[in-house]
Amino acid sequence: MPDPSVRPLRPALKGASPGLAIERELWDAGADVVVGVDEVGRGAWAGPLTVGAAVVPRDRRVYKIRDSKMLTEAEREAIFDRIAGWVRAWAVGHASHEECDRLGMSEAQRLAARRAIAGLGLQPDWVLIDGNWDFVGGRTRSIVKGDATCLSIAAASILAKVSRDRIMRAEAEHYPAYWFDSNKGYPGPRHKAALHWLGPSVIHRRSWAFMDGLAWNGLARYERPDPQGRLFQ
């Protein structure tokens, strides 16, 4: 029976279903735990960087999963609980705005990925990563446009996106002037205007280049010292 809580797919999404070809290849080769991984928040100016991890089952399917970027916020929220109840295991890991500043984006992404995979409670045999950069290590396969073609990664992308969006909507109650409920910490006209008028909030990433262009000068851009004692941004 169709789930009445999940609306029918829009026509534009009907031919864009991610598949299980890569997972089946690895299962047939003897792998048991195949983890899909995706990140969200890398380009944001505020809030955490979030990595989602998901282990899909072999024998049950949930339809209407798509790359999170293809779905509206309402569509992602509607399917979130179905995905969470369907997968064998899932977790999200975060790197806070302070950790993004202190570690830099690459190390923060690795940290969030470690936290997500540790949260699964399962030892991965393989990890499938969206994109062409391996920020996990070990037995991994990087898949360009994996969130659109690989079901494990697509599931992880929705779990990560919804989890982070909920965090940013909650933060909007504390910092209403920045419109985090709509922009989720990403740059936009209202967000930029608020930064120029008010300066950064507590949850802004102060090592980001946008700090250099602010007319408000109450806080300087954060600079990270490197191991040799020099400064880099």
- Split at pLDDT 50, 70, 90, the class of 5 is low
Question: Which amino acid does the sequence have at 163?
Answer: S
**11-171, superfamily in CATH?**
Ribonuclease H-like superfamily/Ribonuclease H (3.30.420.10)
pLDDT digits (tens, 9 = 90+) for 201-216: 999 999 988 888 776 6
Closest CA to 54 of 117, 126, 142, 148: 117
Please give the share of the chain, as a percent, with pLDDT higher than 90: 69
Residue spans in the chain of domains classed CATH 3.30.420.10? 11-171
pTM, rounded to two decimals: 0.88
Cα 51 from Cα 48, distance rounded (Å): 10
Cα 222 from Cα 207, distance rounded (Å): 4
pLDDT at 232: 43
Cα 165 from Cα 34, distance rounded (Å): 26
Q: Which residues pair with 141 in a beta bridge?
A: 128
Q: Residue 227: is its pLDDT beyond 60?
A: no
- Cβ(31)–Cβ(73) below 8 Å: no
Q: How many residues does the chain have?
A: 233
pLDDT at 18: 82
